[in-house]
Structure 1
Amino acid sequence: MRIDLHTHSTASDGTDTPAELVRNAAAQGLDVVALTDHDTVGGYEEATKALPSGLTLVTGAELSCRLNGVSLHMLAYLFDPAEPELARERELVRDDRVPRARAMVAKLRELDVPITWERVAGIAGDGSVGRPHIATALVELGVVETVSDAFTQDWLADGGRAHVEKHELDPFEAIRLIKGAGGVAVFAHPLAVKRGQCVPESAIGELAAAGLDGIEVDHMDHAEDTRVRLRGLAAELGVLTTGSSDYHGSRKTCRLGEYTTDPEVYREIVRRATGAFPVPGAGG
């Protein structure tokens, strides 16, 4: 049983539509895929309608958080998308995305980069605009070679020359909201140091004490020694460990199913969730 619990579609910053994503997941031999777009549930309906027979969809979202000035992401699985408190916070984050992206474009223009808001908006399309769309524009302009190269202090990384902060949840509040909506909370790529500053391991312990269900261990941005350390930390804290691709389509090099979650862990996530249930494919 192959299970990938972290993917993105055009509803946020992926390049596959939700329908393409589930079809590609089935083609890659996955049995379960989670759709976890940034701060939105906008891809659920399309993904569900297109879900191929033999593939199960886990609905979710990747919530933007900040702790003591450090950005982090919280994966929320199988929550009730209509629960008002969590829905309101997702909306606040989404509403902040456009003015934030416009401000980053303005900073880049001050740095003599000939980027335009119209092109960034065009790349984002109907999705929730974010830094990867700006990074894609920088690749098109030849400013950087890859999307990942744009996430440096020279450009879009936290604290970088063109970075602008956004509305982000306190992760303790995020856990409370996820649980209140019947969901399961997993800390995404917690020690992905290549992305920038990470919260200390002591903070992961505090989040676990506050109800964190698990940590994402097997991820392309974790070196093998980091994965070993995180597995030990998870065992010490009594939390689940997941693995996933963090697939963004052609925007990143990771492949669907590149890293996967143990079936027993998946079953425990489903057991804990009360807000929603996995959706079995019906041949869409």
Structure 2
Amino acid sequence: MRIDLHVHSSASDGTDSPAALLRLAGEVGLDVVALTDHDTTAGWAEATAAVPPGLTLVPGIEISARWWEAPGSPIGLHLLAYLPDPDEPELAAALAGVRHNRSTRAQRMVDLLRAGGIDVTWDEVLSDAAGAPVGRPHLAQALIRRGLVDTVSEAFAPQWLGQQFRLPKDDLEVFHALRLIRGAGGVPVFAHPLAHRRGRVVPDAVIAEMAAAGLAGLEADHPDHGPAERDHARRLAADLGLFVTGSSDYHGSNKPTGIAVELTSPASYEQILAQATGTTPVASPVTPDRTG
């Protein structure tokens, strides 16, 4: 089986619609794909209606969280929540709060850009987001249109949205997020836990505390992990009794990484299915003959 458990659609900061994303997953020969948009389930319905023959959709969410190393010194981390109940009241309310805070932050970043002499408007950022939660990739599009950068990755450099015009996010406390995911019947996996190139990462001791609080797995095989980080994640997972996953973190043209470049083992996928009680995967009723 070919299983990619971390992809994004235009319902958050990807560039493919949920339906187009499901078609692509089928075209590249995936058997299972997880839609994990940031802090939203808005793409689930469209994706569910578009599952092609031979593909199984795992509805999920990538939840923005924080751990405080010290007062005023948060470290950001992301939790992949697989198969939670999207209507569970506490989880739904918490995600709505995260999305509201994300929008407020983006508006303040637009103000920063304008104060810095860059004539970005909130209306154009909202237009780029097209109803999705506003994030830095949508601000990046404004910089690209003005010829200030060529790509979203360049827009995330320190002199742009990486530092000078960036504001901190007000995300969920990580142990609270774990409780919410488990309370909604979901299965939490720590996304790219050792991606040092993204910034500071939480210590192994914190990951051990997360495992004791309900964390189920570590995303070991990720484009932002080098060989040493992948090996470390596997050893840590084995020590803590966690499973490991592999995923592309595909965002369409917003990132250079292609879909299905990293994959999850069937054994780890089965552990997700065994633990989930919130909702179920969605499979097309017709399976094509791939032997010809």
TM-score by length of 1: 0.96
2:203 to 197, 200, 204: 200
Alpha carbons 1:2, 1:29 under 8 Å: kept = yes
Offset of 1:209 from its aligned partner?
1.5
> Runs of 4 or more off by more than 3 Å in structure 1?
none
Residue type of the alignment partner of 1:238: G
Compared with structure 1, are the counterparts of its residues 156 and 201 closer, same or farther at alpha carbon in structure 2 (3 Å cutoff)?
A: farther
- Write the deviation string for residues 71-125 of structure 1: whole angstroms up to 9, x where unpaired: 1111000011110010110010111222211111111122222322222112111
Partner of 1:34: 34
Do the aligned residues in 2 keep the contact of 1:5 with 1:260 (CA within 8 Å)? yes
**CA offsets, 1:195-250, max 9 Å, x none?**
12221222111111211001111111111111111111111111111000101111
Structure-2-length-normalised TM-score: 0.93
Q: Percent of aligned pairs with the same residue?
A: 54
Q: Which residue of 2 aligns with 1:270?
A: 273
| CA-CA distance at 1:65 after TM superposition | 0.5
Give the match for residue 50 of structure 2. Answer: 50
**1:127 to partner: Cα distance:** 1.4
Code of the aligned partner of 2:219: E
Tell whether 2:243 aligns with 1:240.
Answer: yes
Q: 1:200 to 1:142 in 2, by over 3 A?
A: farther
Residue-pair matches, total: 281
The offset of 1:46, in angstroms, is 0.5
Match of residue 71 from structure 2: none
Quote the Cα distance in structure 1 between the aligned partners of 2:120 and 2:106: 12
1:214 corresponds to: 217
State the partner residue of 1:187.
Answer: 190
Q: 2:192, 2:270 → 1: CA distance? A: 21
Say which of 250, 259, 263 aligns to 2:262. 259
Letter in 2 for 1:25: A
Structure 1 portions without partners, runs of 5+ = none
**Which of 170, 173, 176 is 2:176 aligned to?**
173
CA distance in 2 between counterparts of 1:138 and 1:195 reads 21
Structure 1 match to 2:4 = 4
| 1:129-185 CA-partner distances (Å, limit 9, x unpaired) | 11111122222222223211222332223xx12112232111111111100110100
Query: Residue in 1 aligned with 2:289?
Result: none
Listed as ranges, the gaps of 5+ residues in structure 2 are 69-73, 287-292
- When the two chains are superposed, the root-mean-square deviation of aligned CA atoms in Å is 1.2
